[in-house]
Structure 1
Amino acid sequence: MSARMKFWGRQPAFYQAQLALTTAAKKGLGDPVLAELVVLRASQLNRCAFCIDMHVKNLRQAGVSRQRIDLLPAWEEAGDLYSARERAALAFTEAVTVLTEGHVPDAVYERAAAHFDERELAHLLAVIVAINNWNRVNVTVRQPPGQEL
């Protein structure tokens, strides 16, 4: 399979801006594993094969257990496999990514705010927004997993 177009190569300024956006968002979050869990979960929801492949590899390289990676789609039923902070971030990720209710429910926002101070929560939101940008482009152009952008 090949991509429909080489979007990132046709939009180098946008690509650089997207990289900078992602780097800034993740840096402020502090916990690289949490950031990778969040971007993997959003990518799963958006069915972005390219990003799922990349972030699974990143988590493996960071030493995250196979069980935590494999059970991420069922994080709510996985008990203490994910910390309360991670579960709050994952619930927030799902609410921001899917927006099925037309908004992020107050309970989900409050749960995240209980685990992240306002600065951290702003970075978490920025990470979620950034990965959704990547996902939407890569899904649209059908970017194949494992290939260079």
Structure 2
Amino acid sequence: MVRLLARFVGVSQRIQLANALPQAYRDILALHTTVEKAAADAGLDPRLIELVKIRASQLNGCAFCLDMHAREARKLGEDERRIYLLDAWRETDLYTDAERAALALTEAMTTLPSTRDVPDDVYRQALEVFTEEQYTAVAWAAAVINAFNRLGVTSRKPLPRT
């Protein structure tokens, strides 16, 4: 019993939830694909969506997702400086109005457990720069990355070797 318990509470010995219920993980991957397509169909820059994923992952402390989405953002041509400064996006002029609206919405949605609200000003700011389809895609992207973050953090999903 002690050996079994030690296996599940150790840092590197957590149950990998994606592997433990593979159909559910495939379903969330399918949802992710649907949201990515909606974002593309709405004309959103894929780099904006990656910034959303990185910011939520920063707030949730998901190392696996941070690593993956920073890499993906770089592959899409995102500037390293903007990735490094994302945690302080309000303090710089490096981000567009649309990116600022997406980041504010992402932060509000990610911190719902403590704030229990997406403030009206955040909602209005997003509607000023996004169409309904774009707003919907950004909100869904934030929701999906938060789900992935919760699985990754709970499992302490290990980083890839390279």
TM-score by length of 2: 0.86
SS of the residue corresponding to residue 45 of structure 1 reads helix
One-letter amino acid matched to 1:15:
Y
Deviation digits for residues 7-47 of structure 1, max 9, x if unmatched?
A: 11121111111111111112211221111000000000000
Any gaps of 5 or more consecutive residues in structure 2?
1-10
Residue 90 (str. 1) matches residue 89 (str. 2) = no
Residues 7-18 of structure 1 mapped to structure 2, 5 A cutoff: 7-18=17-28
Q: Cα distance, 1:101 vs. partner?
A: 2.4
Q: 1:132: which partner in 2? A: 146
Where do 1:27-38 residues align within 5 Å?
27-30=37-40, 31-38=45-52
Query: Which of these two proteins has the greater Rg computed from alpha carbons?
Result: 2
The offset of 1:78, in angstroms, is 1.2
1:36-55 mapped onto 2 (5 Å cutoff) = 36-55=50-69
Letter in 2 for 1:29: A
Q: Which residues in structure 2 correspond to 1:12-27 (within 5 Å)?
A: 12-27=22-37
Q: How many residues align?
A: 146
Aligned-residue offset at 1:60: 1.2
Measured against aligned partners, the alpha-carbon deviations of 1:56-92 in whole angstroms (never above 9, x if no partner) come to 111111111110110000001111x111100000000
Moved over 3 A (4+): none
Is contact 1:88–1:112 with CA below 8 Å preserved after alignment?
yes
- Partner in structure 2 of residue 103 of structure 1: 117
Distance, in Å, in 2 between the alignment partners of 1:3 and 1:83 is: 42
Equivalent residues of 1:50, 1:145 under 8 A apart: yes
- Segments of structure 1 that go 5 or more residues without pairing to the other structure are none
- Give the conservation status (yes or no) of the 8 Å contact 1:88–1:111: yes
Highest RCO, 1 vs 2 (Cα 8 Å, sep ≥ 6)? 1
